[in-house]
Amino acid sequence: MRKRFEDKVIIITGAGMGIGRASSLAFAREGGSVAVVDISEPDGNEVVTQIQDEGGKAVFIHCDVANSKDVQRMVAETVSAFGGVDVLYNNAGVVRYGTVVDMSEEEWDYILNVNLRATFLTCKYTIPEMRKRGGGVIVNTSSVQAFASQRTVAAYSASKGGVLSLTKTVALDHVDENIRCNCIAPASIHTPMLEWGAAMFVPDDPAQAIKEWGELHPMGRVGTPEEVANMVMFLASDESSFSTGSCFFIDGGLLASAL
Protein backbone atom coordinates (compact mmCIF):
# COMPACT_ATOMS: atom_id res chain seq x y z
CA MET A 1 0.00 0.00 0.00
CA ARG A 2 1.21 3.49 -0.83
CA LYS A 3 2.39 5.40 2.21
CA ARG A 4 1.13 8.93 2.90
CA PHE A 5 4.42 10.81 2.37
CA GLU A 6 6.12 8.73 -0.29
CA ASP A 7 7.98 11.07 -2.68
CA LYS A 8 7.63 13.94 -0.17
CA VAL A 9 10.52 15.85 1.38
CA ILE A 10 9.91 17.16 4.89
CA ILE A 11 12.05 19.63 6.82
CA ILE A 12 11.56 19.28 10.59
CA THR A 13 13.33 21.77 12.84
CA GLY A 14 14.18 20.94 16.43
CA ALA A 15 14.04 17.31 15.36
CA GLY A 16 16.60 15.95 17.81
CA MET A 17 14.24 15.39 20.72
CA GLY A 18 10.69 15.72 22.00
CA ILE A 19 7.94 16.47 19.52
CA GLY A 20 10.37 16.97 16.62
CA ARG A 21 11.92 13.58 17.18
CA ALA A 22 8.57 11.77 17.35
CA SER A 23 7.41 13.63 14.22
CA SER A 24 10.57 12.75 12.28
CA LEU A 25 10.07 9.06 13.05
CA ALA A 26 6.37 9.28 12.16
CA PHE A 27 6.91 11.03 8.80
CA ALA A 28 9.70 8.60 7.89
CA ARG A 29 7.48 5.61 8.74
CA GLU A 30 4.94 7.08 6.29
CA GLY A 31 7.57 7.04 3.54
CA GLY A 32 8.79 10.66 3.78
CA SER A 33 12.37 11.80 3.24
CA VAL A 34 13.15 13.76 6.38
CA ALA A 35 15.67 16.56 6.91
CA VAL A 36 16.34 16.23 10.64
CA VAL A 37 17.34 19.78 11.60
CA ASP A 38 18.71 20.59 15.03
CA ILE A 39 21.33 22.53 16.92
CA SER A 40 22.38 19.32 18.72
CA GLU A 41 24.41 17.04 16.49
CA PRO A 42 24.36 13.93 18.75
CA ASP A 43 20.57 14.08 19.17
CA GLY A 44 19.99 14.69 15.46
CA ASN A 45 22.31 11.88 14.41
CA GLU A 46 20.56 9.50 16.81
CA VAL A 47 17.21 10.25 15.15
CA VAL A 48 18.67 9.71 11.67
CA THR A 49 20.22 6.40 12.74
CA GLN A 50 16.91 5.21 14.14
CA ILE A 51 15.06 6.17 10.94
CA GLN A 52 17.66 4.45 8.76
CA ASP A 53 17.63 1.34 10.99
CA GLU A 54 13.88 1.16 10.33
CA GLY A 55 14.52 1.40 6.58
CA GLY A 56 13.51 5.07 6.27
CA LYS A 57 15.17 8.06 4.59
CA ALA A 58 16.71 10.92 6.60
CA VAL A 59 19.69 13.26 6.78
CA PHE A 60 20.87 15.30 9.73
CA ILE A 61 21.47 19.00 9.10
CA HIS A 62 23.12 21.03 11.81
CA CYS A 63 21.43 24.44 11.97
CA ASP A 64 20.64 27.19 14.43
CA VAL A 65 17.23 28.19 13.10
CA ALA A 66 17.64 31.74 14.40
CA ASN A 67 20.68 32.26 12.16
CA SER A 68 19.96 33.34 8.59
CA LYS A 69 23.11 31.82 7.03
CA ASP A 70 22.46 28.51 8.79
CA VAL A 71 18.87 28.45 7.53
CA GLN A 72 19.89 29.22 3.94
CA ARG A 73 22.50 26.43 4.06
CA MET A 74 19.97 24.07 5.66
CA VAL A 75 17.48 24.59 2.82
CA ALA A 76 20.24 24.15 0.20
CA GLU A 77 21.46 20.94 1.85
CA THR A 78 17.91 19.56 1.97
CA VAL A 79 17.46 20.25 -1.74
CA SER A 80 20.82 18.70 -2.52
CA ALA A 81 20.00 15.58 -0.48
CA PHE A 82 16.43 15.01 -1.65
CA GLY A 83 15.80 17.24 -4.71
CA GLY A 84 13.37 19.80 -3.23
CA VAL A 85 11.08 20.62 -0.30
CA ASP A 86 7.38 19.77 0.06
CA VAL A 87 6.74 20.25 3.78
CA LEU A 88 8.26 22.64 6.30
CA TYR A 89 7.48 21.85 9.93
CA ASN A 90 8.71 24.67 12.16
CA ASN A 91 8.95 22.88 15.47
CA ALA A 92 12.14 24.18 17.13
CA GLY A 93 11.32 26.28 20.16
CA VAL A 94 12.70 27.34 23.52
CA VAL A 95 11.21 28.59 26.77
CA ARG A 96 12.56 30.70 29.64
CA TYR A 97 10.49 31.95 32.56
CA GLY A 98 10.21 35.49 33.87
CA THR A 99 8.10 38.64 34.01
CA VAL A 100 8.99 41.55 31.75
CA VAL A 101 10.67 43.14 34.75
CA ASP A 102 12.93 40.30 35.78
CA MET A 103 13.68 38.82 32.34
CA SER A 104 16.89 40.10 30.76
CA GLU A 105 16.85 41.69 27.33
CA GLU A 106 19.15 38.87 26.14
CA GLU A 107 16.66 36.21 27.25
CA TRP A 108 13.82 38.07 25.52
CA ASP A 109 15.81 38.26 22.27
CA TYR A 110 16.79 34.59 22.52
CA ILE A 111 13.18 33.41 22.87
CA LEU A 112 11.85 35.72 20.16
CA ASN A 113 14.68 34.77 17.80
CA VAL A 114 14.35 31.00 18.11
CA ASN A 115 10.54 30.91 18.24
CA LEU A 116 9.49 33.74 15.91
CA ARG A 117 12.41 35.06 13.83
CA ALA A 118 13.33 31.50 12.89
CA THR A 119 9.80 30.90 11.61
CA PHE A 120 10.18 33.96 9.39
CA LEU A 121 13.61 32.80 8.16
CA THR A 122 12.65 29.22 7.37
CA CYS A 123 9.50 30.36 5.52
CA LYS A 124 11.48 33.03 3.66
CA TYR A 125 14.05 30.57 2.33
CA THR A 126 11.84 27.49 1.86
CA ILE A 127 8.90 29.03 -0.01
CA PRO A 128 11.00 29.69 -3.17
CA GLU A 129 11.83 25.96 -3.21
CA MET A 130 8.15 25.06 -2.76
CA ARG A 131 7.27 27.26 -5.74
CA LYS A 132 9.60 25.15 -7.90
CA ARG A 133 7.57 22.04 -6.90
CA GLY A 134 4.24 23.76 -7.65
CA GLY A 135 3.26 24.10 -3.99
CA GLY A 136 3.89 22.94 -0.47
CA VAL A 137 2.74 22.92 3.12
CA ILE A 138 3.99 24.77 6.19
CA VAL A 139 3.11 23.83 9.76
CA ASN A 140 4.20 26.30 12.42
CA THR A 141 4.26 25.79 16.17
CA SER A 142 2.24 28.19 18.28
CA SER A 143 0.92 27.20 21.71
CA VAL A 144 -2.14 27.49 23.92
CA GLN A 145 -0.07 30.28 25.50
CA ALA A 146 -0.93 32.42 22.45
CA PHE A 147 -4.59 32.30 23.56
CA ALA A 148 -4.58 32.15 27.38
CA SER A 149 -1.50 33.02 29.30
CA GLN A 150 0.01 32.19 32.67
CA ARG A 151 2.36 34.10 34.92
CA THR A 152 6.09 34.38 34.04
CA VAL A 153 5.84 33.38 30.37
CA ALA A 154 6.01 36.90 28.88
CA ALA A 155 8.52 36.25 26.10
CA TYR A 156 7.28 32.76 25.28
CA SER A 157 3.62 33.86 25.03
CA ALA A 158 4.55 36.86 22.92
CA SER A 159 6.60 34.69 20.56
CA LYS A 160 3.82 32.14 20.16
CA GLY A 161 1.24 34.89 19.57
CA GLY A 162 3.57 36.19 16.87
CA VAL A 163 3.75 32.75 15.26
CA LEU A 164 -0.06 32.60 15.17
CA SER A 165 -0.29 35.98 13.39
CA LEU A 166 2.57 35.18 11.02
CA THR A 167 0.86 31.91 10.08
CA LYS A 168 -2.25 33.77 8.93
CA THR A 169 -0.38 36.28 6.80
CA VAL A 170 1.91 33.66 5.20
CA ALA A 171 -1.20 31.64 4.37
CA LEU A 172 -2.84 34.60 2.62
CA ASP A 173 0.30 35.77 0.82
CA HIS A 174 0.90 32.35 -0.74
CA VAL A 175 -2.58 30.90 -1.17
CA ASP A 176 -2.45 31.42 -4.96
CA GLU A 177 0.80 29.44 -5.14
CA ASN A 178 -0.73 26.24 -3.77
CA ILE A 179 1.17 26.74 -0.51
CA ARG A 180 -0.85 26.14 2.66
CA CYS A 181 0.26 27.37 6.07
CA ASN A 182 -1.32 26.39 9.40
CA CYS A 183 -0.14 26.29 12.98
CA ILE A 184 -0.66 23.99 15.91
CA ALA A 185 -1.33 25.01 19.50
CA PRO A 186 -0.35 22.26 21.93
CA ALA A 187 -0.97 22.40 25.67
CA SER A 188 1.39 20.43 27.96
CA ILE A 189 3.15 17.67 26.05
CA HIS A 190 5.50 15.20 27.76
CA THR A 191 8.91 16.11 26.31
CA PRO A 192 12.34 17.12 27.64
CA MET A 193 11.10 20.74 27.57
CA LEU A 194 8.23 19.91 29.95
CA GLU A 195 10.53 17.82 32.16
CA TRP A 196 13.00 20.72 32.34
CA GLY A 197 10.21 23.08 33.45
CA ALA A 198 8.93 20.59 36.04
CA ALA A 199 12.44 20.11 37.46
CA MET A 200 12.86 23.87 37.72
CA PHE A 201 9.54 24.60 39.44
CA VAL A 202 9.35 21.43 41.58
CA PRO A 203 12.92 20.12 41.93
CA ASP A 204 11.92 17.64 44.67
CA ASP A 205 9.30 15.82 42.62
CA PRO A 206 9.13 16.79 38.93
CA ALA A 207 7.09 13.67 38.05
CA GLN A 208 4.39 14.75 40.51
CA ALA A 209 4.41 18.24 38.95
CA ILE A 210 3.80 16.78 35.49
CA LYS A 211 0.97 14.66 36.91
CA GLU A 212 -0.63 17.73 38.50
CA TRP A 213 -0.20 19.80 35.32
CA GLY A 214 -1.91 16.96 33.46
CA GLU A 215 -4.85 17.14 35.85
CA LEU A 216 -5.42 20.77 34.83
CA HIS A 217 -6.42 19.51 31.40
CA PRO A 218 -10.02 18.19 31.16
CA MET A 219 -8.61 14.88 29.84
CA GLY A 220 -6.67 14.57 33.08
CA ARG A 221 -3.22 14.10 31.57
CA VAL A 222 -0.53 15.76 29.49
CA GLY A 223 -0.27 14.89 25.79
CA THR A 224 2.31 12.75 24.04
CA PRO A 225 4.70 13.82 21.26
CA GLU A 226 3.07 11.19 19.03
CA GLU A 227 -0.34 12.87 19.45
CA VAL A 228 1.20 16.08 18.14
CA ALA A 229 2.93 14.24 15.27
CA ASN A 230 -0.43 12.80 14.18
CA MET A 231 -1.98 16.27 13.92
CA VAL A 232 1.05 17.60 12.04
CA MET A 233 0.89 14.75 9.51
CA PHE A 234 -2.80 15.48 8.96
CA LEU A 235 -1.98 19.15 8.31
CA ALA A 236 0.96 18.25 6.05
CA SER A 237 -1.13 15.90 3.92
CA ASP A 238 -3.91 16.43 1.40
CA GLU A 239 -6.36 15.26 4.06
CA SER A 240 -6.40 18.91 5.23
CA SER A 241 -6.51 20.36 1.69
CA PHE A 242 -9.16 23.03 2.48
CA SER A 243 -7.37 24.34 5.58
CA THR A 244 -4.99 27.27 5.56
CA GLY A 245 -4.29 30.16 7.92
CA SER A 246 -5.80 28.22 10.81
CA CYS A 247 -4.72 27.06 14.23
CA PHE A 248 -5.31 23.50 15.41
CA PHE A 249 -5.41 22.68 19.12
CA ILE A 250 -3.88 19.60 20.73
CA ASP A 251 -4.79 20.47 24.28
CA GLY A 252 -6.87 17.75 25.93
CA GLY A 253 -9.77 20.21 26.15
CA LEU A 254 -7.79 22.83 28.08
CA LEU A 255 -9.02 25.92 26.24
CA ALA A 256 -12.61 24.69 26.20
CA SER A 257 -12.65 24.92 29.97
CA ALA A 258 -12.97 28.14 31.94
CA LEU A 259 -12.48 26.41 35.29
Ligand X SMILES: NC(=O)c1ccc[n+]([C@@H]2O[C@H](COP(=O)([O-])OP(=O)(O)OC[C@H]3O[C@@H](n4cnc5c(N)ncnc54)[C@H](O)[C@@H]3O)[C@@H](O)[C@H]2O)c1
Catalog residues that contact ligand X under the rule CB under 6 A.
13-14, 16-20, 38-40, 43, 63-66, 91-94, 114, 141, 143, 186, 188-189, 191-194
d(CA 138, CA 122): 10
d(CA 127, CA 130): 5
Q: Which is nearer to ligand X, 5 or 213 (CB)?
A: 213
Minimum CB distance to ligand X, residue 162 (Å): 12
d(CA 155, CA 147): 14
Catalytic residue among 89, 110, 125, 156: 156
Closest residue by Cα to residue 92 from 39, 150, 171: 39
Q: Would residue 97 show up in a list of annotated catalytic residues for this protein?
A: no
Q: Which is nearer to ligand X, 29 or 249 (CB)?
A: 249
Q: Which is nearer to ligand X, 135 or 253 (CB)?
A: 253
Q: Which is nearer to ligand X, 33 or 191 (CB)?
A: 191
Q: Are 181 and 140 in contact (CB under 8 A)?
A: yes
Collapse the DSSP code of 151 into the 3-class scheme (helix H, G, I; strand E, B; otherwise coil) and give the result.
coil
Residue type, 129: E
Minimum CB distance to ligand X, residue 80 (Å): 19
Minimum CB distance to ligand X, residue 90 (Å): 8
d(CA 241, CA 4): 14
Minimum CB distance to ligand X, residue 250 (Å): 8
What residues act catalytically? Answer: 156
